[in-house]
Amino acid sequence: MQATDPDLNPLFEPLQLGALTLPNRVLMAPLTRNRARPDGTPGELAETYYRQRAGAGLIVSEATQISPMGKGYKDTPGIHDDAHIEGWKTITDAVHEAGGRIAMQLWHVGRISHTSLLPDGAQPVSSTAKRAKTQTFTEEGFQDVSEPRALGTDEISGIVEDYVRAAANAIRAGFDMVEVHGANGYLIDQFLQDGVNDRTDAYGGDAEGRTRFLVEVVKAVAEEVGADRTGLRLSPTGHFNDMNDSDPETTFGLAYDRLSPLGLAYLHVVELFPGLDVPAEEQAILARLRERWTGRYIANGDFSAGQAAEWIGEGRADAVAFGRAYIANPDLAERFARGASLNEPDQSTFYGGGAEGYTDYPSLED
């Protein structure tokens, strides 16, 4: 595919991403939509929703919990039992029939949860017992998250096993690869950042200890499904969900250094934040960190088509993942190529509901 605007042609160059050959570099970012059934099986409209977006170079699915204890929001999907596998199989089949490729994002929310969402009203688990200053989406609407309990050292290997089992289930469900969600203040991030992780065992303290859980998870998942079918998402300068780190360049630099040799399919990094100005120092940190990653690099955030093409053309990223634009424009890559106008997303329908704001956005053909 060639763009009508030659400046956008970098978006439409093929890309070898691990085991996959992508026809373009316009990727669909993971987007929580809260439309799964209460048991975690994908909702009836999800097959249509994902099939509509199969023109993306790669779809990364909405974040999907690896276990019942990994859930943090109402009506989000799981990948921890046979019903989930069967539900997702209809979706991956639909995407493949439409010529697309799809990765599953594996998610454990950690402390960003509420007892009403967890088995038998259990406390959320985390690296810490500190409650996050944020809210989550429950049957009663938005509520303050519950106080977590810190995982015991002897419990952590079981969480790693949950990631491995979920990754294997995703491949059984027909996904082309998996993405480990280590960003945005969820469980892995809660171990990484020293503003949250107050542990004194082998999984806390200095950056070596705080990156241990991340490295164990990613290594184990890569061994299970193949490094060339394993991606990772991180947000080194993100503060979402009450996160902070005193020295993100050291923390995430060590993570990049430890994981680069594994030969992962890609690293997916939140670079820009919709509606927020990223301070110059944070931009500089991200740029220096980018130089330390030796594999494929996907940038994510508040990118325009022109900015994405510029980054790819300059070698700052191999591809760019688009979020909100893909909510409202199922044929986003084609719209970029043809220089067409974009539909505006309706934020009131982002989370929960039915077809409105989910599968009813018009394509160019419509």
Marked catalytic residue, from 50, 73, 186, 203: 186
d(CA 222, CA 230): 6
203 in catalytic set:
no
Q: Spell out the residues 6+ positions from residue 194 whose beta carbon is closer than 8 angstroms to its own.
A: 210, 245, 246, 247, 251
d(CA 265, CA 250): 23
Q: How far apart are CA 109 and CA 29, in angstroms?
A: 18
Do 20 and 96 meet the contact criterion of CB atoms below 8 Å apart? no
For residues 55 and 40, what is the distance between their CA atoms, to the nearest angstrom?
A: 26
Catalytic residues: 186
